[in-house]
């Protein structure tokens, strides 16, 4: 398929935000070939030169941050502060990679009585970065920055649901980099498949949903191309019996679920509260939500939650709530609406907290990826941990307690790639903390030293001591003793 991808504002469906060209497979092929040629020169440069170019690339983006944030808000429906925060964090991350990559990617030399060993960190070649719509800038930067620092070229394929701000951002970054080293192609499955299956792609870095991930991993396997997969989660929140339910932590917990209308991989998606504190919790939660949660146009002042991304998403989420209610749950409205927004003009879904829902309801058992959250009760700590660990997904989780040691002890028992204590979602992240899932939430890591090392393969040069300086060594076919 060729032609153009058009994007309308999910908060005001009558507003066309922009268009981008959709890449046919032949165009994807040309882009990858150009990237491959550029990578061969780039890989020969010194890492100091590469990170200096990355810093210059950040400088090229930074002055446009306000315009990029507004564009992202209009194409995705995420509130403006959210978009500014995402882009600012992406630039901070890129600078952090520029600082850390020379250390993480340095050759390691070992020369001792056992011989001489050189560990080299070599690039894969062209990295295909396939990203979802919900945080297109940071999720692309998590791949672009370490991949370029390690000497790779990168071709980004963003989601057609939010292609505009990342398109502009990649072009700004590229203006400070060698030609064709960093490029963007647009499209859905056809363009994605052409990229993933391309024989000159050396690694595929994918963030998105589980169903797409399986298709991507299978296509990569046709060329034995390695992948890193960052997928969805169904993050449990474990409020221990001594959890602080005062307004400040409750406001944090509310936004951990409803930021970006709940469309965040590591959103707080299932709330477990002690049975004895259920009513107290619900009252405290709803009160905190009245203070911080305001549904409306993402560009309006004071709005903290916008629409969901598509009509399909809105229908899916309202269907999940209706199903939960049909199973005996009670859907409580959460937060308030901005009086200046026409909620009929976009894909707005009123946020809800659902109590009394059975644990096998899809709202609990699956990733809802929207502004509705189930509250579940427990009596016993072992039962709590077992239920939190139920299911195929293991991205994030959180434990809330007045006693940090107790929280850490419970955290150690959870099947999750990242456990937050007394917070959840982006407020608990750190540049130095590797992020990624266990179980079916994916493999490989972003952020931290591991997120940089993900884009280099360790290669070895070895001179065994026994064969040095004329040593005869062991018999030709013997294994070494150490």
The residues that are catalytic are 230, 265
Minimum distance, C-beta of residue 27 to ligand NAD, in the bound complex (Å): 15
77 binds ligand NAD (CB under 6 A): no
DSSP 47-86: HHHHHHHHHHHHHHHGGGHHHHHHHHHHHH---HHHHHHH
Strand partners, 203: 127
CB-wise, 29 or 188, nearer to ligand NAD? Answer: 188
DSSP 203-256: EEEEES-HHHHHHHHHHHHTTT--EEEE-----EEEE-TT---SHHHHHHHHHH
Among residues 209, 226, 249, 464, which is the contact residue for ligand NAD, using CB under 6 A? 209
Among residues 39, 76, 159, 398, which is the contact residue for ligand NAD, using CB under 6 A? 159
For residue 191, the surrounding DSSP H or E stretch is helix 189-196
Minimum distance, C-beta of residue 187 to ligand NAD, in the bound complex (Å): 7
216 binds ligand NAD (CB under 6 A): yes
- Residue carrying structure tokens 């993933």: 196
x-or-dash string of contact with ligand NAD, 35-54, rule CB under 6 A? --------------------
Minimum distance, C-beta of residue 203 to ligand NAD, in the bound complex (Å): 14
- Residue carrying structure tokens 């030709």: 476
- What span, in angstroms and rounded, lies between the C-alpha atoms of 333 and 336? 8
| Region binding ligand NAD by CB under 6 A among candidate stretches 148-156, 190-198, 399-407, 424-432 | 190-198
| Region binding ligand NAD by CB under 6 A among candidate stretches 24-32, 50-58, 192-200, 424-432 | 192-200
201 binds ligand NAD (CB under 6 A): no
- Residue carrying structure tokens 């997969």: 229
Q: Are 108 and 333 in contact (CB under 8 A)?
A: no
Minimum distance, C-beta of residue 418 to ligand NAD, in the bound complex (Å): 10
Minimum distance, C-beta of residue 133 to ligand NAD, in the bound complex (Å): 5
User: Which parts of 335-374 interact with ligand NAD (CB under 6 A)?
Assistant: 367, 369
132 binds ligand NAD (CB under 6 A): yes
Strands 336-337 and 294-295: parallel
- What span, in angstroms and rounded, lies between the C-alpha atoms of 252 and 215? 36
Closest C-alpha among 172, 186, 209 to residue 395: 209
Among residues 110, 189, 283, 459, which is the contact residue for ligand NAD, using CB under 6 A? 189
Site size for ligand NAD, by CB under 6 A?
Answer: 31
21 binds ligand NAD (CB under 6 A): no
Minimum distance, C-beta of residue 231 to ligand NAD, in the bound complex (Å): 5
End-to-end CA distance of the chain: 57
134 binds ligand NAD (CB under 6 A): yes
Q: What are phi and psi of 424, to 5 degrees?
A: -165, 150
CB-wise, 190 or 338, nearer to ligand NAD? Answer: 190
265 binds ligand NAD (CB under 6 A): yes
* 168-184: b (≥16 Cβ within 10 Å) or e: bbbebbbebbeebbbbb
157 binds ligand NAD (CB under 6 A): yes
- What span, in angstroms and rounded, lies between the C-alpha atoms of 67 and 69? 5
By CB under 6 A, name the binding residues for ligand NAD. Answer: 130-135, 139, 157-160, 188-189, 192-193, 196, 207-209, 212, 215-216, 230-233, 265, 367, 369, 395, 442
């Amino acid at each position: 398929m060729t032609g153009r991808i058009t994007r309308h504002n999910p908060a005001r469906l009558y507003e066309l935000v922009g268009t981008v060209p959709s890449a046919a497979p032949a165009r994807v092929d040309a882009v990858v070939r150009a990237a491959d040629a550029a990578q061969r020169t780039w890989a020969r440069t010194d890492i100091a030169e590469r990170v200096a170019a990355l810093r210059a690339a950040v400088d090229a983006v930074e002055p446009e941050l306000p315009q990029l944030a507004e564009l992202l808000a209009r194409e995705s429906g995420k509130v403006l502060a959210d978009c500014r925060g995402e882009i600012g964090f992406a630039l901070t991350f890129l600078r952090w990679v520029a600082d850390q990559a020379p250390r993480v990617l340095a050759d390691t030399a070992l020369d001792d009585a056992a011989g001489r060993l050189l560990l080299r960190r070599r690039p894969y070649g062209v990295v295909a970065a396939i990203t979802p719509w919900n945080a297109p800038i940071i999720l692309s930067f998590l791949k672009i920055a370490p991949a370029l620092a390690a000497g790779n070229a990168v071709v980004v394929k963003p989601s057609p649901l939010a292609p505009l701000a990342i398109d502009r951002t990649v072009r700004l970054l590229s203006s400070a980099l060698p030609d064709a080293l960093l490029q963007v192609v647009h499209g859905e499955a056809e363009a994605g498949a052409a990229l993933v299956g391309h024989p000159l792609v050396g690694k595929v870095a994918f963030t998105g949903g589980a169903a797409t991930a399986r298709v991507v991993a299978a296509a990569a396997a046709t060329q034995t191309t390695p992948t890193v997969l960052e997928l969805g989660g169904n993050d449990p929140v474990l409020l221990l019996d001594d959890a602080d339910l005062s307004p400040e932590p409750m406001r944090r917990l509310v936004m951990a679920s409803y930021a970006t209308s709940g469309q965040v991989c590591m959103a707080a998606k299932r709330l477990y509260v002690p049975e004895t504190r259920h009513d107290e919790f619900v009252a405290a939660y709803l009160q905190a939500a009245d203070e911080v949660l305001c549904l409306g146009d993402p560009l309006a002042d004071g709005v903290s939650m916008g629409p969901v991304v598509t009509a399909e998403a809105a229908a899916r989420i309202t269907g999940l709530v209706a199903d939960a209610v049909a199973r005996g749950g009670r859907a409580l409205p959460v937060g308030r609406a901005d009086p200046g927004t026409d909620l009929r003009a976009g894909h707005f879904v009123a946020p809800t907290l659902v109590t009394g829902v059975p644990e096998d309801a899809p709202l609990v058992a699956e990733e809802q990826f929207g502004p509705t959250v189930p509250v579940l009760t427990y009596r016993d700590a072992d039962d709590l941990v077992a239920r939190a660990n139920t299911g195929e997904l293991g991205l994030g989780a959180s434990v809330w307690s007045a006693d940090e040691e107790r929280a850490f002890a419970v955290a150690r028992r959870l099947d999750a790639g990242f456990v937050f204590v007394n917070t959840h979602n982006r407020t608990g992240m750190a540049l130095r903390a590797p992020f990624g899932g266990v179980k079916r939430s994916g493999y490989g890591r972003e952020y931290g030293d591991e997120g940089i090392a993900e884009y280099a393969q360790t290669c070895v040069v070895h001179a065994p001591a026994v064969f040095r300086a004329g040593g005869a060594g062991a018999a030709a076919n013997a294994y070494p003793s150490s």
